[in-house]
């Protein structure tokens, strides 16, 4: 197993610069007062294709040799990695196939197709996703770009926190949502090298808390098909992301479905930005655990903004 290094992050940053945004950091006095912390929201919901995953996908796609690229790329994804890989493949002019759960939000399926990729549907479980995907790769010979258990992807995601520590001085902590752990792993990669005093927290839905249980047990515990409004956080940790979580994360905090929706509403109201439920989990856990963050300068990574506006969670 190859563990990506700081040099990989630096190379990724240069490679993907023409293809991504340097996203802004927003603050809210009201949210600071509510939490007792100084919060700095890194807005990857304003990233290309609407999610941080454009970073890792672009690094993987533009790092391919011409011979590899000619066969195209393929992945399995509940949405954002699929659309971001489609985006990057489109920029390079190569084919892309995405295996998606049939229950994935229609807006995310439409986004993947909108970037020119082919969507192949599967049942909403990790086992079905991987079985259908194996058929796709056998048929196409495409390069597999895993949504998170891929050193190229993690090195790309690591560029987000590299930007953030340039934008915000003297952070005490950074918190990001965790599903498979790609963003958290990238954050660990960068901060453990460039800002080792910054504590790294992960935030997870209580309904899909396999990473939190893994963290406490000391080994990976994988749920097959958890149900949560935070649809981007249903997948389990894998060996590579577990390496970073186990070695560098201070704690994994959880929030209930109601707490996640309340935090999502709050950020829509106060920051005036569109964010998806998965992105609201960090704020939900900060509000729930004031003793952990009070008086601290905290970077909060808003991972994506791809929402089905016809199915907002507070209207369902």
pLDDT in tens, 139-161: 999 999 999 999 999 999 999 99
Based on the fold, state whether residues 48 and 60 are members of the same structural domain: no
Q: What is the pLDDT of residue 137?
A: 92
Q: Are residues 96 and 242 in the same domain?
A: no
* Cβ pair 72, 96 in contact under 8 A: yes
Q: State whether 263 and 161 are in the same domain.
A: yes
The verdict on 162 and 213 lying in the same domain is yes
For residues 155 and 253, state if they share a domain.
yes
Task: Tell me the CATH number at 47.
Answer: 3.40.50.1100
Q: Decide: helix, strand or coil at residue 200.
A: strand
Percent with pLDDT over 70 in the chain: 100
Q: Kindly state whether residues 96 and 46 are assigned to the same domain.
A: no
Please report whether residue 268 resides in a domain.
yes
Q: Is 199 helix (H, G, I), strand (E, B) or coil?
A: strand
**pLDDT tens-place string over residues 205-228:** 999 999 999 999 999 998 877 899
Beta-bridge partners for 74: 97, 144
Angle at 205 between CA 203 and CA 211, to 5 degrees: 65
Whether residue 274 is contained in a domain is answered as: yes
Do 79 and 196 have their domain in common?
Answer: no
Average pLDDT over residues 172-183: 97
How far apart CA 11 and CA 1 sit, in angstroms, is 19
| Tally of residues, the chain | 316
- Tell me: pLDDT of 105 over 80: no
Whether the CB-CB separation of 21 and 50 falls below 8 Å is answered with no
User: Is pLDDT at 126 greater than 80 in this prediction?
Assistant: no
Domain boundary among 144, 159, 188: 144
| 308 is a domain residue | no
Shortest CA distance to 108 belongs to which of 255, 264, 242, 276?
A: 276
Together in a domain, 157 and 140 = no
Q: What angle do CA 242, 246, 249 make, to 5 degrees?
A: 110
Same domain, 72 and 33: no
Range of the domain at 193: 6-52+150-302
Neighbouring residues of 119: CB distance < 8 A, sequence distance ≥ 6: 82, 97, 98, 99, 100, 109, 112, 113
Q: What is the pLDDT of residue 226?
A: 83
| H or E segment to which residue 314 belongs | none
Higher pLDDT, 129 or 248: 248
pLDDT for the residue 316: 59
Does residue 248 share a domain with residue 179? yes
Q: How far, rounded to the nearest angstrom, does the alpha carbon of residue 117 sit from its chain's CA centroid?
A: 20
Write the pLDDT tens digit of every residue in 16-26.
Answer: 999 999 999 99
Using the 3D structure, point to which of 144, 160, 176 is the last residue of a domain: 144
Spatial strand order in the sheet of 143-144: 118-122, 96-101, 73-76, 143-144
* Residue 172 sits in the same domain as residue 89: no
Domain total in the chain? 2
For residue 156, the tally of other CB atoms under 10 A from its CB is 34
Point out the domain boundary residue: 144, 160, 194.
Answer: 144
Q: Are residues 195 and 237 in the same domain?
A: yes
């Amino acid at each position: 197993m190859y563990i990506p290094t700081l040099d990989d992050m630096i190379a990724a940053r240069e490679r993907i610069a023409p293809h991504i945004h340097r996203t802004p950091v927003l603050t809210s006095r009201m949210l600071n007062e509510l939490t007792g912390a100084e919060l700095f929201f890194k807005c990857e919901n304003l990233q290309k294709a609407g999610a941080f995953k454009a970073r890792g996908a672009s690094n993987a796609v533009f790092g391919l040799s011409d011979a590899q690229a000619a066969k195209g790329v393929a992945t399995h994804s509940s949405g954002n990695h699929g659309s971001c890989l489609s985006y990057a493949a489109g920029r390079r002019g190569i084919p892309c196939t995405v295996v998606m759960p049939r229950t994935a939000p229609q807006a995310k399926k439409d986004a993947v197709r909108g970037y020119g990729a082919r969507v192949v549907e599967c049942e909403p479980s990790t086992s079905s996703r991987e079985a259908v995907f194996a058929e796709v790769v056998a048929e196409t010979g495409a390069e597999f770009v895993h949504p998170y258990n891929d050193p190229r992807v993690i090195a790309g995601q690591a560029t987000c926190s590299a930007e953030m520590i340039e934008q915000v001085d003297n952070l005490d902590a950074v918190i990001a949502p965790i599903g498979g752990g790609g963003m958290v792993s990238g954050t660990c990669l960068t901060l453990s090298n460039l800002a080792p005093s910054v504590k790294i927290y992960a935030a997870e839905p209580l309904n899909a808390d396999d990473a939190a249980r893994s963290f406490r047990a000391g080994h990976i515990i994988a749920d097959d098909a958890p149900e949560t409004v935070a649809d981007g956080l249903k997948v389990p940790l894998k060996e590579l992301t577990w390496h970073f979580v186990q070695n560098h994360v201070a704690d994994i905090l959880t929030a209930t479905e109601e707490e996640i929706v309340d935090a999502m509403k709050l950020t829509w109201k106060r920051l005036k930005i569109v964010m998806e439920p998965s992105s609201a989990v960090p704020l939900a856990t900060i509000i729930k655990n004031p003793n952990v963050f009070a008086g601290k300068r905290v970077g909060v990574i808003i991972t994506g903004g791809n929402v089905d506006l016809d199915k907002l969670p507070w209207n369902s």
